[in-house]
Amino acid sequence: MTFSYAPGAPAVLSEVSAEFYAGAITAIVGPNGAGKSTLLRVLLGLVRPQSGVAAWPEPASVPAQTVADMPAGARARSLVYIPQRLSPAFGFTVRELVEMGRHAAGAGPDSGAIARAMERARVGGLAARSFDELSVGQQQRVGLARALAQLDAIEGPAALLADEPAAAMDPLEATHALTTLLAVARAGRVVVVVLHDLSQVLAFCARTLLLDARGRVSAMGPTGEVLSPRALESLLGLPFDPASVGGRVVTLVARVTLSARDESAASP
C-alpha cells in the first residue's frame, strides 16, 4: 500500500506490506514523521491509499473487506481507535465519554459495563469529572476506558489501534495501560500500538513493525529480531547498547560520542 496526502505529493507511506494478528500486541515504531499515525488512519479506513488496500478479514469464507469501503457503523463494530488526543467539546464528563464507546459499537446503555471499563482504565474515581479539567495523562486513561467500553460491546472479531496511548502517563500508569492492552490482545483481539519507548515495546509487544523516516517498512516480525542493536543503529544513525538485567533486555542506551568541543563545554 502506498499513501500520500495530496495527488502528486511525496508518498508518506511507500509500498507498506503488513499483516496484524490477534493474541499479541504489535508495536509500530519509527522516527517522528515516519508515517506511524498515518498508517493507523489507513488501517482504520479514515484515509484511502493511492495504491493497495487495507483489508479486514471477515470470519469464515466471506471475502476480506476493504476498510475504506465499510460504512462507518460497520467499522465502529469491528475497529476501535485511541487517537493521540481526544478532543471532545461541550464539557462532557468522563462517564459520558466512556458511554460513547458503547454507542459507537451500536450497543445500548449498560452502567455495569461502563463502570468495568472505567475501573480497568483506572478512571473510576474521575467518572463525574469534566474531561476538559483532567491532566493529559488522565485524559489518555479516559481514551483507553472508552476503547474498552467499545470493545466490550463487540462480540465478533475486533481490532484496537492506539496512537501513543501512554505518552503522557507516568511510568506506573503507562505500565497499567499496557498491561491492560496486552490482556485485550490475549483475549483474542488484534492490538496495534504506536510506541516510542523501546523498553515498553520490549516488555509488552511480541511483534514490531519498524517504519523508516521515508515511510517504508524496514523490518517486521518478532520484536527481539526487529529491535536488534544493528537495526536500530542503521535506523537512527547511533550506536546502541542493549542493557540487560538477569539476562533480559530492559532498555537500549545510545552511546553518543561527544565531540572534543562539546566535552570541554560540558566539563566544569
Ligand X SMILES: Nc1ncnc2c1ncn2[C@@H]1O[C@H](COP(=O)(O)OP(=O)(O)O)[C@@H](O)[C@H]1O
CA distance 99 to 104: 9
When asked if residue 35 is in the footprint of ligand X (CB under 6 A), the reply is yes
Residue 85 interacts with ligand X (CB under 6 A): yes or no: no
Please say which residue, 12 or 220, places its beta carbon nearer to ligand X: 12
Instruction: List, as one string, the DSSP characters of 59-121.
Output: STTSPPEEGGGS-HHHHHTTEEEE-SS----TT-BHHHHHHHHHHHTT----HHHHHHHHHHT
Given 1, 11, 12, 42, the residue binding ligand X (CB under 6 A): 12
Q: Within 13 Å, how many C-alpha atoms sit on residue 219's CB side?
A: 18
Q: Calculate ∠ Cα 14-15-16, nearest 5°.
A: 95
**Among all chains, which residue has been given the C-alpha cell 451500536?**
106
Report the C-alpha gap between 143 and 158 in whole angstroms: 17
CA 94 – CA 117 distance, rounded (Å): 11
Least Cβ distance, residue 194 to ligand X (angstroms): 7
Binding mask 30-69 for Mg ion (x = CB under 5 A): ------xx--------------------------------
> Is 38 one of the binding residues for ligand X (CB under 6 A)?
yes
Which stretch, 29-37, 49-57, 62-70, 223-231, contacts ligand X (CB under 6 A)? 29-37
Q: Does 5 bind ligand X (CB under 6 A)?
A: yes
Least distance (Å) between residue 35 CB and ligand X = 4
Q: Is 182 in the site for ligand X (CB under 6 A)?
A: no
- Nearest to Mg ion of 154, 235 (CB atom): 235
Count of residues in contact with ligand X, rule CB under 6 A = 10
Q: Which residues bind Mg ion (CB under 5 A)?
A: 36-37
